[in-house]
Amino acid sequence: MNRSIARLTSAAAAVAVTAVGAVILTPGSALAAAATKCSSVQKNEWDTIGPDLDLAVQLCVTRNSSNDYRAYADISWNDGGGGVSAGMEDLILNLRLERNDADYRNEDFNINSPIRVNESGSTRVYGSTYRSSTTGGWTADGHVEWDIQNDGKGGDTWPLGGSPSI
């Protein structure tokens, strides 16, 4: 009988150690899984003095396993180039990291320089990171401020649709 009790006690101890180990090794809610969500690709064309500039922008929000959130934009273009006299005077991407429509990061990027020089191309711009253990409702949003060179009309804003939330 003492042997049976000893075996039961050893078995119970092994189960308890295994259960405690499983609890210790299981990540808690503070460690979020990495995630990325992106808007659809949004396109616009401007009738410039040179070839009409075609611009495509996709806004994304990402979270890494350390709960660092960041907005970024993938940008591509065709029919750029033309230098400073034929293309865009201003082309500025405003990129925002938002949570439930409140800005946590709000940054402007001059995307005109590579577009003036290269007829076509692509680039990615990253906003600053923001660390938060608060989950849900994080999105990337933004707009493009533009002004066509030498048309005398001034500029305008192209509003972009935001990313889905993570």
* Mean pLDDT of the region 64-75: 98
Q: Which domain holds residue 83?
A: 35-160
**Dihedral sign, CA of 87, 90, 94, 95?**
positive
3-state secondary structure at position 113 = helix
Backbone angles phi, psi at 100, to 5 degrees: 50, 45
Output the six-digit token pair for 91. Answer: 């082309």
Does some domain include residue 46? yes
Q: What is the pLDDT of residues 31-65, one digit of tens each?
A: 678 999 999 999 999 998 878 899 999 999 999 99
CATH code of 85's domain? 2.60.40
Does some domain include residue 151? yes
Three-point CA angle 76, 81, 82, nearest 5°:
155
Does some domain include residue 57? yes
* Cβ atoms of residues 144 and 55 within 8 Å: yes
Confidence class for position 112, pLDDT limits 50, 70, 90: very high
Output the six-digit token pair for 70. Answer: 């960041």
> Closest by alpha carbon to 60, among 77, 78, 35?
35
Please tell me the predicted confidence (pLDDT) of residue 81: 74
> Closest by alpha carbon to 90, among 150, 146, 157?
146
Does some domain include residue 154? yes
Average pLDDT of the chain, as a whole number = 85
37 strand-pairing partners: 61
Does some domain include residue 30? no
Q: What is the pLDDT of residues 83-111, one digit of tens each?
A: 766 789 999 999 999 999 999 999 999 99
> Closest by alpha carbon to 143, among 162, 115, 130?
162
Total count of domains within the chain: 1
Please tell me the predicted confidence (pLDDT) of residue 61: 99
Does some domain include residue 16? no
Residue with tokens 């990129």: 95
Does some domain include residue 27? no
Does some domain include residue 144? yes
Strands 68-78 and 102-110: unpaired
Please tell me the predicted confidence (pLDDT) of residue 92: 98
